[in-house]
Amino acid sequence: MENDLCRRIIKRPFKLSLTVFLFLIFFENISHANSRQANECHNAKADTPLPLRVKAMQSDILNAAETGNIFNLQIVLEQSELWPIAKFGIKTSQTSNPVERWIEQSHGTQGAYILAQIEQILTMPAFKSPLVKGLDLYIWPYFANKDISQLCPNELVDLLKISTPKAALKMQNSGKYSGFQLAIGSDGSWHYFARKNIAVSPK
């Protein structure tokens, strides 16, 4: 009788201690996972160092956009040997004036919508993508090449700065960013400001 009572007293604290031990391990794993996710989300928005020529072109585009007059972008366009692409899928995109194409896509705002998009996008970080040997592209926004369905909360906020909630939801469902992207070459040339990852029908 006394032996049974002793065994019960010993077993109960042991079971309690084991439960507490397992709970602590579980809690530690969750905390570690949350911490890792927080670090990954923080690092996802880290600025990519920009070469001086890329910074110069970025500044020129922003300065022109901030005037509120889309025709002021014409001066910036002339700095590159080839005009930037304004609409993918258009065969004449390299020869037709990009300003005209952007005005067509500005929803009746005479280019103001495009300027707003340029300003918002260029104030975000970019990501680096190799183009050809010795030449890289710096592309804005930084999440344009990511799986949009897996964005961190802070990235989702940035996405909503340049798209409507309805458009953002469609992108999350497809996993692809289909808004405007801007690319500048490491040599300082402006390559495009246009939408990608969507079907475009020529007019």
Query: Where do the domains of the chain lie?
Result: 1-44, 52-195
Q: In what order do the strands lie in the sheet with 127-132?
A: 127-132, 135-140, 180-185, 190-195
User: Strand, helix or coil at 195?
Assistant: strand
pLDDT tens sequence across 74-89 = 999 988 788 999 988 7
Alpha carbons within 13 A on the beta-carbon side of 159: 27
- Percent of the chain's residues with pLDDT above 70: 71
pLDDT at 1: 55
pLDDT tens sequence across 99-130 = 999 999 999 999 999 999 999 999 999 999 98
Query: Residue 148 carries which DSSP code?
Result: G
- Asked whether residue 185 carries a pLDDT value surpassing 80, the answer given is yes
Which uninterrupted H or E stretch holds 38?
A: helix 2-44
